A = this chain, B = another copy of it.
Amino acid sequence: MKHRIGLAIHGGAGTIDPALLTTELEGLYRKGLHEAAEAGKTVLEAGGTALDAVEKAVIILEDNEMFNAGRGAVFTAQGSHELDASIMAGHDLSCGAVSGVHGIKNPVSLARKVMEHSAHVFLQGEGALAFAHDMGFSFAPEAYFYTPNRWQQLLEARAANVTALDHNQPKPIGTVGAVALDSHGNLAAATSTGGMTNKKFGRVGDTPIIGAGTYANNRTCAVSCTGHGEYFIRKVVAHAIHCRMLFAHEDLALASSTLVGELHEIGGEGGLIAIDYQGRIAMPYNSGGMYRAWWSEGLAVATAIYAK
């Protein structure tokens, strides 16, 4: 099957007010997105796997405090962090996920360890941390995850008594994710998040849910979602795109935009990135913007926040 290797990444979707996004901030977001996409591109161009490419891209986004994952994760109502991540391989449907972990620099790598070195798919909380310890993960100190912007967001959310989806602000924002197609024709997807500012502890969104926030299947596509997770769970969004392609013979663009439209109808704000088995990319969203970057073989990496 003829295909063109490529990838797409996202750094979250939301109501991004252009008036509040300064030129300097916009530059920092675009730089972060560009770096992550370039890292994935480098893996793919060297003949590496889609799994390695999406993990590498997500690691770079997790390490960047501009994005709501890893280092830049938002604070829960208790002033702590709860990180979720998942990863899936399209060639054999193997997958791994973690939820409610803290102190892990790169939750996406822990999800991959669950996939490759445990008998399970999904580990939560203290059990996931015990597994991380067994796997030799080093734990980052609390200070690593403390960023003044995130703390200020929590204080503001507490004062307003709201659970913020980490939207509606020109500050660090966004679940992160990546999808890729490699030279072997294999697809992969990965997603990582810090959740919602001031959220009740214990809340699990769509990010670690295989089928909802993340899905990959070589027969169709790889998908990573971002937005109001509860709605993405109800619509089983990532898997629904796969099913529309496989059973209704829709193309990626139609299947993915249909889901984003269905989310909008029920009040679910957000977006997704997806790549199909031939390398076509779709990145629909129903929110004010979505931080994203993409690359296809033979072209340069591109970034966008709004329409462009």
Contact = CB atoms under 8 A, between A and B. Distances in A.
Interface of A: 93-95, 97, 99-100, 118-128, 130-131, 163, 200-205, 209-212, 215, 229-230, 233-236, 239-240, 243-244, 246-248, 266
A127 B247 CA distance: 39
A178 to B, nearest CB: 20
A201 B99 contact: no
Number of copies: 2
A115 B289 CA distance: 29
A210 B210 contact: no
Nearest to A244: B247
B234 A203 contact: no
A19 to B, nearest CB: 29
B240 A128 contact: no
Grouping DSSP codes into helix (H, G, I), strand (E, B) and loop, the A interface class, with mixed when no group exceeds half, is mixed
Given A95-B233, A95-B234, A211-B209, A130 B239 contact: no
Contacts of A118: 200
Contacts of A94: 234
Contact of A121 (B121, B230, B246, B266): B230
Contacts of A235: 93
A204 B122 CA distance: 5
Closest 8 pairs (CB-CB, A-B): A127-B202, A243-B243, A247-B247, A211-B236, A122-B204, A247-B248, A211-B211, A127-B201
A123 B202 contact: yes
Contacts of A130: 200-202
Contact of A163 (B93, B119, B128, B247): B119
Given A209-B211, A210-B209, A212-B210, A233 B121 contact: yes
A212 B206 CA distance: 13
A239 B236 CA distance: 8
A124 B95 contact: no
A202 B128 contact: yes
Contacts of A163: 119
Nearest to A204: B122
Given A211-B236, A246-B247, 11 more contacts: A100-B125, A123-B202, A123-B203, A124-B204, A127-B202, A209-B210, A211-B233, A236-B239, A244-B247, A247-B247, A247-B248
A87 to B, nearest CB: 13
B122 A233 contact: yes
